[in-house]
A = this chain, B = another copy of it.
């Protein structure tokens, strides 16, 4: 009982898709949870359940602008840093955004950890960090990659900072390189875009690239579970894990599922090319043996996750407003 009282975590980006699931999971595990979010993309509605829990406290703050960030980190022993600019596609329109929201925010958090002597961090990195890999499935220790997107390189910078801080200040780092995550509260990415566009015009659908890009997806609950398995079983200074399904589907197949679900047959108009946008990786397929070897086994496959997401959309069409 006394031991439980000591478990105090902070979740950045707590009102986001993955963040809100993370908060619920931590509360289930009897953590005291501080949640921070600037609500730029996160939604308070996603925290409906946690906000009723007396072990959860929410603060609306912008990490980059907040001067006294330390005060939210008092007596925290686990930092779960999920807040990020996750808009991979439009990075080149505004190159400063990824640098600020990802790299500089992460530096600020690490600096607070250093000052307050907080010794454990979980970080959401990305499969985009591998650029356009040439070996599939791609392992965590694959070739030194070449970056192709500002999102990917900002996450690479975060990983580097976390690793260096881990080495210099004796912090334990848990870095997870995600494929795209699906499930309830998913609110950005191509599935979201397709659904929104079809609802607006069921006759025509613009698709970026040639539709043959191969993407992998993971269910948000499987993702959160993997993180806690790693925390429990992996004890290196720097622990890096790919998280994904060892399976992928093409963008066209995703479109088929959305169209069947909505019972429409739009004319498909492709922008062409094997990449949806500059920096898009034509194939994402991560090797997840490392986390599987710790006993993790995902419960949902890609199609199940897509269906869960579409069902969430149908029940929550308010997320498409604005």
What is A's interface to B at a CB cutoff of 8 Å? 91-92, 95-96, 99, 103, 107, 110-111, 114, 131, 140-150, 152-154, 156-157, 159-161, 163-165, 167-169, 238, 240, 278-279
Name the B residues within 8 Å of A147 (CB-CB).
159-161, 163-164, 167
Chain A interface secondary structure, helix, strand, loop or mixed?
A: helix
With A and B bound together, what is the CA distance between A148 and B279 in angstroms?
Answer: 28
> Are B160's CB and A152's CB within 8 A?
yes
Can you add 10 more A-B contacts, CB < 8 Å, to A147-B160, A150-B168? A96-B107, A141-B144, A147-B161, A147-B163, A148-B163, A148-B167, A150-B165, A153-B157, A164-B279, A167-B278
> Are A163's CB and B146's CB within 8 A?
yes
- Known: A160-B152, A160-B157, A161-B153. Is A91-B168 also a contact (CB below 8 A)? yes
With A and B bound together, what is the CA distance between A253 and B147 in angstroms?
Answer: 39
With A and B bound together, what is the CA distance between A278 and B168 in angstroms?
Answer: 6
Chain B's nearest CB lies how many Å from the CB of A121? Answer: 14
Chain B's nearest CB lies how many Å from the CB of A231? Answer: 19
Chain B's nearest CB lies how many Å from the CB of A282? Answer: 13
Name the B residues within 8 Å of A99 (CB-CB).
107, 161
With A and B bound together, what is the CA distance between A114 and B94 in angstroms?
Answer: 11
Name the B residues within 8 Å of A152 (CB-CB).
160, 164
Chain B's nearest CB lies how many Å from the CB of A270? Answer: 22
With A and B bound together, what is the CA distance between A141 and B143 in angstroms?
Answer: 5
Name the B residues within 8 Å of A159 (CB-CB).
147
> Are B95's CB and A157's CB within 8 A?
no
- CB < 8 Å: which of B140, B160, B169 contacts A153? B160
With A and B bound together, what is the CA distance between A92 and B164 in angstroms?
Answer: 9
- Known: A144-B144, A160-B147. Is A165-B107 also a contact (CB below 8 A)? no
With A and B bound together, what is the CA distance between A202 and B275 in angstroms?
Answer: 64
- CB < 8 Å: which of B91, B140, B165, B240 contacts A95? B165
Chain B's nearest CB lies how many Å from the CB of A234? Answer: 14
With A and B bound together, what is the CA distance between A141 and B114 in angstroms?
Answer: 32
Name A168's closest neighbour in chain B (CB-CB): B92
> Are B157's CB and A163's CB within 8 A?
no
With A and B bound together, what is the CA distance between A46 and B86 in angstroms?
Answer: 46
